[in-house]
Amino acid sequence: MRRSVAALFLSLAPLSALAQTGLDLISSETAAFDSMVLWNERDVRPIGLTEVARVEGQIFFGVSLILDVPWSDDLQRVSINSSDIKLTLPDGTELQAIGAYDYLGMMELGSPGLSVSRPYNWPESDADARWQGVFLVPEGTSGGTLTFPGEPGWSGEVTVPAVGREVDAASFAAFTIADVDRYRRIALEDRRAGLDIGSVLTPLPGHVLADVEIEIAPTASNRTANEERFHWSTSFFRLVAADGTTYWPAGERFMDRLLDDQFNGVDPGESATRRVVWMVPEAADVAFLFYGDTMVAQVDLTGAVADEG
C-alpha cells in the first residue's frame, strides 16, 4: 500500500556552473515530464477528479537547486524576482518558469522567485538558498543556461533528461490511524471580544461525525524552500468510501474549534498526530484515507457511537 521514499525527481541530470557571481552550487536535480498533475485547486475537489496538464509538442522541465550564500555583515538577504530568472535555450529563446513545487510532488502553476534571509544567529548558523521551478520547453530540447542575475547571482548549464514520472507526494512520510471516535454531535467553543461562544456541530440524519486521529511520521523533507521539514495541510487528506465517494471534512481539531484547513509541519525522524473530523454514514464500517491521490491507510468505522464529543 505504501511506496518507498522517492527522491525529488526520478530522472536526474547534472548541472555545471558557467560563472560564479556570488552564489555557489551545492546540489542540483532535474527532471522532464510529458504531463503533470496540477494542485492549484485540488483542495476543494473530491478524490479521482485530477487535473492533468499536457501541451502538444512541449515537455515540462523541472530544475531543483541548492545554492550556498556568501553571507556577510553587509549581505543579509538575497531576493531575485521570478521575472528575472531565465532559462535560455540554444537558439536564444528566453523562458520563465511556469510552475513550481512548494511541496515536492505537488506542482502548482506560477512563477517562482528566489528569496532567503541570513539567519539571526549567523555565523553560528547558515542558510542555503533553495529554488525549484518548472519550465515548458519544446520536445527535443537538449538543455540551456539557467541564470539568476544580480550580485550575488548564479548561472549554469542545465541538461534536459529523459522523460520520467512525477514523484508521489505521499512518499515522504508514513501515515497510520492512531484512533477513531464517532459522535452524534460535537461541542465547540470560540472566544470573541472577550466572550466564550459555544456551538454544536450536528451531522445530517443517518450520519455521524468520525473523529480520526492520524499519525504522520516523515522520512524526508518535502520542502523546496529553506526548511528541512515535512509540511502538510488538512486539505491534502481525503476520507473515501469503498465505492469511491469522498466524504466531506468538517475540519481539523484545534483547541475547542474545528479549522477547515490547518497548516502543519514536523521534522523527518519525528512524528505528530492530528485529529480530523469527517461526516460519514452511520452504517459505514470502513473508509480509506488518501493523501493526494495515494491511499495511505484504512480506517475502521465500526466503533461505538457516543452522543457528544
DSSP letters of 254-282?
ETTEEESS-EEEE-TT--EEEEEEEEEET
Residue 20: pLDDT over 80: no
- 2 in any annotated domain: no
Residue 99: pLDDT over 90: yes
To the nearest 10°, report the CA torsion of 136, 40, 36, 242.
-170
Q: Of the candidates 145, 167, 189, which is a domain's last residue?
A: 167
Average of per-residue pLDDT values in the chain: 89
Do 114 and 236 lie in a common domain?
Answer: no
Do 192 and 137 lie in a common domain?
Answer: no
Q: For residue range 235-253, what is the model confidence (pLDDT) as tens digits? A: 999 999 999 999 989 999 9
- 4 in any annotated domain: no
Do 298 and 182 lie in a common domain?
Answer: yes
- 234 in any annotated domain: yes
Q: Given pLDDT bands bounded at 50, 70 and 90, which one contains residue 227?
A: low
pLDDT at 226: 55
Do 157 and 275 lie in a common domain?
Answer: no
Residue 18: pLDDT over 50: no
Q: Take residue 192 and report the three cell numbers written for it.
A: 470573541
Q: Which residue range forms the structural domain that includes residue 195?
A: 170-306
- 8 in any annotated domain: no
Q: For residue range 112-125, what is the model confidence (pLDDT) as tens digits? A: 999 999 999 999 88
Do 178 and 301 lie in a common domain?
Answer: yes
pLDDT at 10: 40
Q: Of the candidates 167, 199, 231, which is a domain's last residue?
A: 167
Do 197 and 163 lie in a common domain?
Answer: no
Helices (H), strands (E): how many in the chain? Answer: 0, 28
Q: For residue range 167-186, what is the model confidence (pLDDT) as tens digits? A: 899 999 999 999 999 999 99
Do 142 and 195 lie in a common domain?
Answer: no
**Domain containing 206 — which CATH number?**
2.60.40
- 231 in any annotated domain: yes
Do 19 and 160 lie in a common domain?
Answer: yes
- The span from the CA of 13 to the CA of 159, in Å, is 6
Q: Of the candidates 144, 167, 190, which is a domain's last residue?
A: 167
- 41 in any annotated domain: yes
- 270 in any annotated domain: yes
| Average pLDDT over every residue of 287-305 | 95
C-beta of residue 141 within 8 angstroms of C-beta of residue 30: no
Residue bearing the bigger pLDDT, 67 or 5:
67
| Tally of domains within the chain | 2
Do 135 and 230 lie in a common domain?
Answer: no
Do 140 and 185 lie in a common domain?
Answer: no
Do 152 and 78 lie in a common domain?
Answer: yes
- 6 in any annotated domain: no
pLDDT at 14: 46
Do 156 and 220 lie in a common domain?
Answer: no
User: What is the model's pTM?
Assistant: 0.81
Residue 9: pLDDT over 90: no
